[in-house]
Structure 1
Amino acid sequence: MTSLYAHAGGDEGLHRLEEVFYAKVLADPLLKALFPEPKPHHVQNLTWFTAESFGGPDRFTRELGFEHIINVHRHLRITEEQRQRFVDLYMQAVEESDMPVDPAFRQAVHDHVEFGSHVAMQNSHAATDADLHPLREVPRWNWAGDKQQDPAP
């Protein structure tokens, strides 16, 4: 079966998606506290993370490492409302960026973002390393919405 990465159009398709998404979060009043100003490599990093998670190259792990994403979210204190808005804007970006429209793909993307947003929210409130979500590597997502590596929270 084709990977989610290939189905999404590889790096080109995912980069297009992350550009649309990043523009949305930068403009959103609720998410302004989490995204106060544009970061030059944010779209690239998001693309690398999603690509690796969807079965593409492991650039995120090789170039940045999972600790990077933990550190980015630490102490942000993401609220449930912000988490949900993030998911909603991501799915709007999927709609607006010529991603495949088949329900299985859209569900896998939604499940991936929903899962990741919960991990980010937990890590954003972690006072100690013990409070962090146990996930320590980029999760590999498949069509069924299951992670190939899914440590229980």
Structure 2
Amino acid sequence: MPTLFEHAGGERALHRLEDTFYSSVLADPLLQPLFGSGKPEHVDHLTAFTAESFGGPDTFSRELGFAHLIAVHRGLRITEQQRQRFVELYMAAMDAVGMPDDAPFREAVREHVEFGSHVAMQNSHATTDDELHPLREVPRWTWAGDEGPSA
């Protein structure tokens, strides 16, 4: 069975997805305050994170590290409404770029985004390291019914 990375179409397809998603976030009045005016490198970071999570190259871990991900979310105080909107826009971007629409793939992606957005929300409210989510590495996501996140 192919990895989620392979099924999605590899790095180029994921970059297109993250670019479309990021553009929608920057245009969304609920989420834009979390992202400011945007950062040009954000799409590349999102792509590297998703690719690694889905079984692709470990570029995110090698070049940025998970501590970077924790640091960018701290202090944002993400609300549940913002978290849900994030998931909604991500899934809409999947449709917009023509990602595979088979149910197992879509379910795995949704579970990944739901999990990650919960981790980000928890970390965004943490005032001490003890309040952070225990995840300290990029989760390796698999098809529904498999292991799910490795952490």
- The equivalences for 1:36-55 within 5 A come to 36-55=36-55
| Matched residue, 2:150 | 149
Q: Which one-letter code corresponds to 2:84 in the other structure?
A: Q
Runs of 4+ more than 3 Å apart: none
Cα separation, 2, equivalents of 1:142 and 1:123: 23
| Matched residue, 2:64 | 64
Per-residue deviation, residues 23-53 of structure 1 (Å, max 9, x unmatched):
0000000012101112010000000000000
The CA deviation at 1:148 is 4.2
| Matched residue, 1:124 | 124
Partner secondary structure for residue 109 of structure 1: helix
| Matched residue, 2:79 | 79
- Aligned identity (percent) is 67
Cα separation, 2, equivalents of 1:142 and 1:36: 32
- The equivalences for 1:11-30 within 5 A come to 11-30=11-30
| Matched residue, 2:95 | 95
Cα separation, 1, equivalents of 2:149 and 2:35: 30
Per-residue deviation, residues 48-82 of structure 1 (Å, max 9, x unmatched):
00000000000000000000000000000000000
Q: Which one-letter code corresponds to 1:133 in the other structure?
A: H
Partner secondary structure for residue 134 of structure 1: coil
Cα separation, 2, equivalents of 1:60 and 1:32: 24
Structure 1 gaps of 5+ residues are none
Higher helix share: 2
Q: Which one-letter code corresponds to 2:139 in the other structure?
A: P
Cα separation, 1, equivalents of 2:80 and 2:101: 27
Partner secondary structure for residue 34 of structure 1: helix
Cα separation, 2, equivalents of 1:92 and 1:33: 20
TM score, norm. by length of structure 2: 0.97
The CA deviation at 1:128 is 0.2
| Matched residue, 1:10 | 10
The CA deviation at 1:147 is 2.6
